[in-house]
Amino acid sequence: MKFDERTERNIATLHPVAQERAREFMQAVVPIMRQRGVDARIISGTRSYAEQDALYAQRPRVTRARGGFSNHNFGVAWDIGLFQGKKYLEDSPLYKECGGIGQSLGLDWGGAWKSFKDEPHFEVKTGLTMAEKRARVAAGKSIL
């Protein structure tokens, strides 16, 4: 299944394994969301440390992770957006439905986090700490 241009562009930024998982997720989510009258799109993929730091500096806070402390920095995380026509749905119970689908596929969902819930956020589980991820990347090794 081919997705909208923005989704395809963001999937292309991800680690190859995460690309496969993001496509699997979107293939499951898109038809269900369309039945609900909304479009699901991947609105963010891999970020540089500088991009992450800029988000971290925003107020109100949109992330608790500085550069090097977000799975977006390692190409294993993406954020979705739900849209009704051109209108972005910042808050919608449909994010929980997407979260359940992601979890059923073995993804980590930000809406299930204990603090700072991030319902649009999904990531591939790596089994590594952030420090281990940074070290592997610095050594030119894969994290997946």
Please write the tens of the pLDDT for every residue from 94-126: 999 999 999 999 999 999 999 889 999 999 999
Q: Is the pTM of this model over 0.95?
A: yes
pLDDT band at 89 (very low <50, low <70, confident <90, very high): very high
Task: Give the C-alpha separation, 1 to 110, whole Å.
Answer: 25
Task: Give the C-alpha separation, 82 to 89, whole Å.
Answer: 5
pLDDT band at 45 (very low <50, low <70, confident <90, very high): very high
Task: Give the C-alpha separation, 64 to 99, whole Å.
Answer: 20
Task: Give the C-alpha separation, 69 to 133, whole Å.
Answer: 9
Between helix 94-104 and helix 16-35 the angle, nearest 10°, is 140
Domain segments of the chain: what residues?
A: 5-138
CATH 3.50.50.60 fits 5-138, yes or no: no
Nearest to 10 by CA among 96, 76, 97: 76
Cα dihedral sign, 58-125-33-45: positive
Q: How confident is the model at residue 66, as a pLDDT?
A: 97
pLDDT band at 32 (very low <50, low <70, confident <90, very high): very high
pLDDT, the chain, mean: 97
Q: How confident is the model at residue 18, as a pLDDT?
A: 98
Question: Mean of the pLDDT values across residues 54-76?
Answer: 96
DSSP 8-state assignment for residue 64: S
Q: Where are the beta strands (DSSP E) in 19-135?
A: 39-44, 77-84, 87-89, 108-109, 121-123
Question: Mean of the pLDDT values across residues 42-58?
Answer: 97
